[in-house]
């Protein structure tokens, strides 16, 4: 939803609610991000007046997320480190450049990728372009943070993995933030204390998108790759590595394959994950998500990353941070750690880059075909006809 076109009373109530949920600073960043999307300059700002010393991070794709989340947390945590920012819309690039005092802005990604002073690139462009920009960044010797989804088809995945395989000192991190949330850390630690399989249920009510929204363009991967991948990825984190395969993917859908859907996963160890993804209207507080987990003696419930309750027999632990924490800050700063100034930390394992992509690609395939798919450790094993209802 474009909140800049809503009535004033709606915007005021939205801001007041978000201050309570996220705090003043993050809410202001979200508000500015809404107006940033529509930035227009009669005279574009001058790059020559901006300092460049010490700035070593590039951004490709200067949309709302890059403005209100990536650049916001970098600037807040480590200061003015942005050097080159690029977008195909020169006004969006100029707006992010001006607000966060980058060294320059451009519509040419090659200018950022070939800049020897840039050692880390955040890729937050349209989904279909993520893999190609990432491949170019890896070849240029940059550490790279790839926002979700990192690929939109199997060919992109093959090329990304092949590039990473031959690159020296490859450092990649992916934009799946939810496992980094402090509440997620408590959740995963509690699950690790229990033996046996898990029953996991996600309910997600997401934003309602117009039929002309760019997410829905066939080349961009639709809502399964644009949204649902967050929860397929988190579910993968919740299953022990040795118990993941084979994975049965059982779709439930009506007229559309990417929204108002339910999809179940039966993992190799017998764990079951069910994800329901709804788009019936616009949630006032943004994406609404509820998680329930039963493993061993623990029962877990988590609401909107604002409250976590872990019950273990007679003990009940409740975690409730002051503000919602979806893990964006932690994920972005972990990626900053891959840069030279951040400490040259290693990226994620390439096996994980492959596994999480294969899972969301296979999930989309199962929903589009309305057929059960079995995914083994080497890829899709088989497609089965759905049982009659």
| Domain extents in the chain | 3-174, 178-322+349-384
The Cα 385–Cα 284 span in angstroms is 39
Banded model confidence at residue 385, pLDDT cuts 50, 70, 90: very low
The total of other beta-carbon atoms located within 10 Å of residue 121's CB is 29
pLDDT at 272 exceeding the cut of 80: yes
Per-residue pLDDT of 52-108, as tens digits, reads 788 999 999 999 999 999 999 999 999 999 999 999 999 999 999 999 999 999 999
Q: What is the mean pLDDT of the chain?
A: 93
Which CATH code of 3.40.50.720, 3.30.360.10, 3.20.20.80, 3.40.1350.10 fits the domain covering 178-322+349-384?
3.30.360.10
pLDDT at 381 over 70: no
pLDDT tens for each residue of 223-251:
999 999 999 999 999 999 999 999 999 99
Q: How far is CA 27 from CA 12, 31, 52, 277, in A?
A: 12, 6, 28, 26
Q: For residue 181, how far is the Cα from the chain centroid?
A: 12
> Of 204, 203, 188, which Cα lies nearest the Cα of 239?
188
Question: Is 178-322+349-384 in the same CATH topology as 3-174?
Answer: no
Q: CATH classification of 3-174, choosing from 3.30.365.10, 3.90.1150.10, 3.40.50.720, 3.40.980.10? A: 3.40.50.720
Question: Whole-prediction pTM value?
Answer: 0.93
């Amino acid at each position: 939803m474009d909140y800049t076109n809503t009535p004033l009373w709606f915007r005021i109530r939205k801001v007041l609610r978000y201050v309570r949920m996220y705090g003043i600073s993050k809410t202001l960043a979200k508000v500015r991000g809404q107006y940033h999307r529509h930035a227009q300059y009669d005279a574009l700002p001058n790059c020559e007046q901006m300092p460049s010393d010490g700035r070593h991070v590039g951004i490709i794709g200067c949309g709302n997320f890059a403005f209100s989340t990536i650049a916001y947390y970098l600037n807040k945590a480590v200061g003015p480190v942005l050097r080159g920012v690029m977008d195909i819309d020169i006004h969006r690039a100029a707006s992010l450049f001006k607000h966060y005092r980058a060294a320059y802005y451009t519509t040419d990604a090659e200018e950022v990728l070939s800049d020897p002073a840039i050692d880390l690139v955040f890729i937050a462009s349209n989904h279909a372009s993520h893999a190609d920009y990432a491949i170019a960044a890896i070849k240029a010797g940059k550490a790279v943070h790839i926002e979700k989804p990192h690929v939109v088809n199997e060919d992109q995945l093959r090329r990304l993995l092949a590039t990473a395989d031959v690159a020296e000192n490859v450092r990649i991190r992916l934009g799946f933030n939810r496992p980094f949330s402090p509440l997620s850390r408590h959740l995963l630690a509690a699950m690790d204390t229990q033996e046996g399989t898990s029953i996991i249920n996600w309910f997600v009510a997401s934003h309602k998108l117009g039929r002309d929204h760019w997410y829905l363009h066939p080349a961009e991967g639709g809502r399964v790759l644009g949204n649902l991948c967050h929860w397929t990825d988190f579910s993968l984190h919740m299953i022990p590595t040795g118990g993941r395969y084979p994975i049965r993917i059982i779709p439930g859908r009506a007229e559309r394959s990417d929204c108002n859907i339910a999809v179940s996963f039966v993992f190799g160890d017998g764990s079951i994950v069910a994800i329901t993804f709804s788009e019936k209207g616009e949630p006032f507080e943004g994406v609404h998500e509820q998680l329930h987990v039963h493993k061993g003696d623990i029962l877990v419930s988590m609401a909107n990353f604002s409250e976590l309750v872990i019950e273990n027999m007679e003990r009940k632990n409740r975690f409730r941070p002051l503000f919602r924490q979806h893990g964006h800050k932690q994920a972005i700063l972990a990626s900053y750690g891959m840069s030279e100034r951040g400490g040259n930390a290693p990226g994620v394992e390439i096996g994980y880059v492959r596994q999480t992509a294969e899972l969301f690609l296979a999930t989309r395939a199962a929903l589009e075909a309305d057929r059960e798919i079995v995914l083994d450790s080497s890829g899709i094993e088989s497609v089965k006809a759905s049982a009659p209802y």
